[in-house]
Structure 1
């Protein structure tokens, strides 16, 4: 099967970093790869004076948020390729998120629900429905999708063969079934082209 350049680049990104697409920032970055770094606290001597009328403010609208995870590699290796380094520099790169447990599954559960649920293996466990980020987004009326590498539409998230691994798809564990928002990575091109 031929993989488009967009999907191949995204798949590579999916193994590398956390990217948040929230507009550009014209300020130069002082850290390599656009690394997030702590900022100094505001000075207590800088006091805003009250104004007669409220000043209009604008907030950047975030159209897409991509959470991309690379497992079993160091940061330097993860951002070594030029396209990945460019994406990391232009967006945001979280460099201080680390595994909370071993093996894989507890980490994916913690990433999507804030808890490992006491799970210490990669076996299948049916967890409470609506206990994860996906359910919270759905309840709030915010559309979301999880694009899974190796998953096939025919087999779905519970039965897809290698290279798909159920242990890397935390959404299949909440409520004991895979939500329709979990799709093969092949759907990414059409979703991006359709601005969905």
Structure 2
């Protein structure tokens, strides 16, 4: 392309820039300038521009890969240059090949409910709080448990593995590292806030409506055998105290009791509990509150199709993540946010993206 050709293209771009204030008129003037170049590739370039812009719109809508027109051949190089400059003005992003970033959250709060399929919660009149949050924040519409029963799902959430455990055993052991280890190694902090836990660091199988099977860190010997680390497993009543004192840890696992988790009680009871607990967490700066279920009532993709929501100040309002994901994908998201080593099967999972500020 010679200097005169460059000038023609730049004039067209300049016209279209001014035409931002008047889109239709700006495009027509730009097209007239391009036609004055007398190049036969002009019409082909315009067709490609329309296809390219349509592909961008479809990609934004579907959150999938961009669908773009094929690359121009040599005889269309000038028109292609104009096309690229025009696309820049239309703010049509290039096809992404790298994983979109996850913000470095200040706090991550993970709340885990029990044993409900997606359709038992979203769309149910018994769950107005869940449905309201799903509309207002981010709905992870294709989230799945990884297996049955409860315990291996909780272990998967914090370590990327079920550790070969296939029951809700209380004396079994999970070997290897968990989020507790990698979070501490990064200089961050963690706690489990368990409802009806009778005392700090309690490791018994059950107490009132507390069940050890919903407290995964208690299964890792490097936590259970360390008094200082075991002291990070605390009753839920400590959550409000830590919030008031400004000492909420980097990562908080919040475990409702067997009734409020919907394990033993109706959906409406768990929904009302969520309405009481969550509002104080939504104003935490640059933070996310994940609300998930450990498993559903079916075995679709291993553990059933369940509800998963992302709430809080780090989340863009009224968004959806529509790719298939699971406990491993959620773990990968936390790891990527904080630059942590990838544990177990989280290494092969896709982080949750496209919903963050």
**TM-score, length basis structure 1:** 0.63
| Separation (CA, whole Å) in 1 of partners of 2:241 and 2:62 | 37
- Confirm or deny: 8 A CA contact 1:70 1:78 kept in the other structure: no
| Separation (CA, whole Å) in 1 of partners of 2:145 and 2:103 | 31
- Confirm or deny: 8 A CA contact 2:158 2:179 kept in the other structure: yes
| Separation (CA, whole Å) in 2 of partners of 1:180 and 1:108 | 20
SS where residue 187 of structure 1 aligns? helix
| Separation (CA, whole Å) in 2 of partners of 1:144 and 1:154 | 14
1:93-108 residue pairs with structure 2 within 5 A?
93-108=139-154
> Who is 1:133 aligned against?
179
Normalized per residue, which structure has more strand? 2
**Offset of residue 121 of structure 1:** 1.2
1:142-161 residue pairs with structure 2 within 5 A?
142-153=188-199, 156-158=202-204, 160-161=206-207
1:193 is matched with which residue: 228, 234, 244? 244
Q: Which has the larger radius of gyration?
A: 2
**Offset of residue 188 of structure 1:** 1.2
Greater RCO, 1 or 2 (C-alpha within 8 Å, sep 6+): 2
2:115 is matched with which residue: 72, 95, 98? 72
- Confirm or deny: 8 A CA contact 1:157 1:182 kept in the other structure: no
With over 3 angstroms needed to count, the CA separation of the structure-2 counterparts of 1:142 and 1:118, relative to structure 1, is same
**Offset of residue 145 of structure 1:** 1.5
- Confirm or deny: 8 A CA contact 2:201 2:233 kept in the other structure: no
| Separation (CA, whole Å) in 2 of partners of 1:137 and 1:155 | 19
**Offset of residue 78 of structure 1:** 3.1
With over 3 angstroms needed to count, the CA separation of the structure-2 counterparts of 1:181 and 1:38, relative to structure 1, is farther
With over 3 angstroms needed to count, the CA separation of the structure-2 counterparts of 1:115 and 1:159, relative to structure 1, is closer
| Separation (CA, whole Å) in 2 of partners of 1:86 and 1:64 | 22
**Offset of residue 128 of structure 1:** 2.7
| Separation (CA, whole Å) in 2 of partners of 1:154 and 1:145 | 11
Q: Which ranges in structure 1 are unaligned for 5 or more consecutive residues?
A: 1-36, 49-58
Q: Give the number of equivalent residue pairs.
A: 149
SS where residue 207 of structure 2 aligns? coil
Normalized per residue, which structure has more helix? 2
SS where residue 112 of structure 1 aligns? helix
| Separation (CA, whole Å) in 2 of partners of 1:112 and 1:160 | 21
- Confirm or deny: 8 A CA contact 2:200 2:234 kept in the other structure: no
**TM-score, length basis structure 2:** 0.37
Does 1:182 pair with 2:225? no
**Offset of residue 171 of structure 1:** 0.4
With over 3 angstroms needed to count, the CA separation of the structure-2 counterparts of 1:77 and 1:166, relative to structure 1, is same
Query: Which is worse superposed, 82-91 or 158-167?
Result: 82-91
2:106 is matched with which residue: 63, 80, 102? 63
Q: Which ranges in structure 2 are unaligned for 5 or more consecutive residues?
A: 1-60, 69-83, 92-101, 249-357
